[in-house]
Structure 1
Amino acid sequence: MSFLKNIFKGGEQPVRSYADFWTWFQKNEKAFFRVVKEKRDIHKDFFDKLSPKLNELKDGFYFSTGIFDEHTVKLVLTADGAIKNIPFVEELVKAAPQINGWKFTALKPALDITNVYIKMGGYKFADENIHFYANTSNEFPDEIDITVLHDDLTQKNKDTIINGIYIFLDNFIGELNFATTIDNVNVIGKSEAEKELVPIAKLKDFLKWREKEFIEKYEGIRHNTQNDTYSGLEATLNSGNPVVAIINTDLLNWDSKASHPWIMSVEIKYGGTANNGMPDDKTYQLLDDIEKDILRELKDFDGYLNIGRQTAENTRDIYFACRDFRKPSIVAYSIVQKYSGQVDITYDVYKDKYWQSFERFR
């Protein structure tokens, strides 16, 4: 009996749920609070303990901490700009209990322009030396495309300035807005400007106006795929193996693509070298079951459109265009968990208002 006690003495239960994580955090929060308040070795005494527990829950969690006020320490949990991880950060913080002395925040919040000041690589990033202007396109009118200018940018320091601009924007407009509202950002020097410069302080108002305009334009638009036309496409790769795709061609010709700006791509790698990279009967059934599971969760009338699939070189890719990014991210992760050990599944969720990812199928 004493041997068993020694094994489990001081042992911690693995984190398998949000509740497990917060139970663990509550057991340690007083020690973590002192580490931050007394400005001790935060990495060693806080972050090095926090990080493994978050990784047990799921990879893709990042964090920062600091003093919120005299009696409160803040912990900001972030996805570091990864769209597919944002819903999990939000859910984790939503599940947080009230803990005296702690303030938990999901994603880096937007700051007032007077509070955003960054020094990096010897350069300053602040409202007085950063400007922007909007770019317009007749071909892609709904895209939010901006050019950001920094007074000190040169060819020599371009990488440092671009990195600093991204950090500045992430803090100024907030992590969620930076990750989801802007489609394209181009960073240049002031001498390269082609339009009238706008103070960076006005960027938030510009984004709010464009987002409101976009929502009003596409609000309520849905597409019923029940009677759509699907085309089978075949080609031969350089390896000599076939590639086969089944694509909803009516969707590819739809004139309201931007109403479903989020693309979910699920990649399934299956084993075996027979059939020139095509699945055998057993594997085909498994791939079909996985796709049906996704379709049960993501329905067209709810705003999730199955564009089609492609199969080649022992890989099946499944594509959806979606009105939002949160539910597809959660569904795809649950599929990865469900079929773990049977096939290797990865997924991505990204913004592509005009579905340019699928031009190769047209």
Structure 2
Amino acid sequence: MSILKRLFGTKQEPIRTYQDFWKWFQENERGFFKAVKNQKNIEKEFFDKLSPKLNELQDGFFYLTGMLDENTVELILTPDGNIKNIVFVEELVHAAPAIPGWTFTSLKPPMDITNVRIDMAGYTYDSNTLSFYPNDVKDHPDEIDITIVHKDYHEDDKSSITNGTYIFLDNFIGELNSVTTIDNVKVIGRKQAEKDLIPIEKLKDFLLWRQKEFIEKYEGTLQNTDTAEFAILEAELESGNKLIATINTDILHWNKKASHPWIATLEIPYDGQFNNGMPDEKTYQLLNEIEERILEQLKDSDGYLNIGRQTADSLREVYFACKDFRKPSKVLHQLTKDYPTININYDIYKDKYWRSFNRFNNN
């Protein structure tokens, strides 16, 4: 029997669940541990084996690793800033068993400013090179808009310095805070600064204060869209095809939009080439079926507002404004599995004032 195993190898079980992944990891963790601790062949002995298993489970998982102390390896799993994958990274780490010599972390954690220094492409990012100041955004008081100032900033290296600053933020305030708390970031040099500079180490306290203020202002805010009247908007595209949108235009005038800052969009392609870009009756029923499945799970009473839909040029788009991003991520991802023959795409992003829907607002 052992000869047959050597000849033909052991069949690898597919990774379909979090439990499958961690079972595989436990079976191989001693080799991974040695590779990281000895700093030898980490790519070949660990990363080249880990990556395909994570990809089997789901696209969009990334990782960092290193020795937490002499006897413990830390594996940090991260969506690399992709909002819609955060919940899956969190769930995967939550499902991890206790393995001696290992600690597992979801998303890059915040660090003390004294431990954060990024050296990249000839620039340093730390408390000596970075400072910041907040910006007031007219008509959008709830937006957290900050300008970060790098003392060695050069316009020719704007892209590189901006990228390095984002990496610094992920490590200093933590990845979750970096992608969910700050709405807008601009990176400039000291000569372009328009306000007094604040030490970068005070950024955490500033963000905590703004977030606390935001929560107190909007806590418990919900909106009922079950009885809302949806307006039907029509337009003619350059191709001559029609665009039809069914939109809850009343809610677009709501003065508490910022309480539902996460926009979830679903794109469902179909073949409308023989029907002026519109779906035929059978396809129309399928599109409605998919939309109804979403509405059953994303209810306004739970903080998920149905903004409406748009149909044109062989594409149905469905829109929601949400209080959080985790449940919509799971609901929409499951749809891609439930309808594998349809190339369904979805996105989740932050837009506190729903600028994405300005095109539907005539007033």
Decide: shared fold, TM above 0.5. Answer: yes
TM-score (norm: length of structure 1): 0.97
- Distance of 1:4 and 1:271 partners within structure 2: 51
- Distance of 2:2 and 2:194 partners within structure 1: 77
Q: Which residue of structure 1 aligns with residue 142 of structure 2?
A: 142
Map Cα deviations across residues 206-254 of structure 1 (whole Å, 9 max, x no partner): 0000000000000001101122221000001111111100000111111
How far the C-alpha of 1:122 sits from its partner, in A, is 1.1
User: Amino acid of the residue matched to residue 280 of structure 1?
Assistant: D
Distance 1:3 1:113, change over 3 A: closer
User: Amino acid of the residue matched to residue 142 of structure 2?
Assistant: D
User: Amino acid of the residue matched to residue 159 of structure 1?
Assistant: S
Please tell me whether residue 351 in structure 1 is matched to residue 339 in structure 2: no
Q: Which residue of structure 2 aligns with residue 290 of structure 1?
A: 290
- Distance of 1:157 and 1:305 partners within structure 2: 42
- Distance of 1:68 and 1:134 partners within structure 2: 35
Q: Which residue of structure 2 aligns with residue 309 of structure 1?
A: 309
Q: Which residue of structure 1 aligns with residue 88 of structure 2?
A: 88
How far the C-alpha of 1:348 sits from its partner, in A, is 0.3
For 1:270-289, what aligned pairs fall within 5 Å after superposition? Answer: 270-289=270-289
Partner of 1:127: helix, strand, or coil? coil
- Distance of 1:22 and 1:123 partners within structure 2: 39
Distance 1:3 1:285, change over 3 A: farther
For 1:168-317, what aligned pairs fall within 5 Å after superposition? Answer: 168-317=168-317
How far the C-alpha of 1:271 sits from its partner, in A, is 2.3
Q: Which moved more, 1:220-229 or 1:302-311?
A: 220-229
Partner of 1:19: helix, strand, or coil? helix
Distance 1:3 1:306, change over 3 A: farther
- Distance of 1:156 and 1:211 partners within structure 2: 34
Map Cα deviations across residues 271-293 of structure 1 (whole Å, 9 max, x no partner): 24111110001100110000001
Q: Which residue of structure 2 aligns with residue 98 of structure 1?
A: 98
Partner of 1:249: helix, strand, or coil? coil
Map Cα deviations across residues 177-225 of structure 1 (whole Å, 9 max, x no partner): 0010000000000111100100000000000000000000000011011
**Contact in 1 for aligned 2:131/2:200 (Cα 8 Å):** yes
- Distance of 1:179 and 1:98 partners within structure 2: 29
- Distance of 2:5 and 2:213 partners within structure 1: 64
- Distance of 1:265 and 1:8 partners within structure 2: 47
Partner of 2:155: helix, strand, or coil? coil
Q: Which residue of structure 2 aligns with residue 71 of structure 1?
A: 71
Q: Which residue of structure 2 aligns with residue 30 of structure 1?
A: 30
How far the C-alpha of 1:4 sits from its partner, in A, is 9.2
How far the C-alpha of 1:257 sits from its partner, in A, is 0.5
Q: Which residue of structure 2 aligns with residue 322 of structure 1?
A: 322
- Distance of 1:77 and 1:279 partners within structure 2: 41
Partner of 1:75: helix, strand, or coil? strand
Distance 1:254 1:189, change over 3 A: same
- Distance of 1:196 and 1:60 partners within structure 2: 39
For 1:329-344, what aligned pairs fall within 5 Å after superposition? Answer: 329-341=329-341, 343-344=342-343
Percent identity, aligned pairs only? Answer: 61
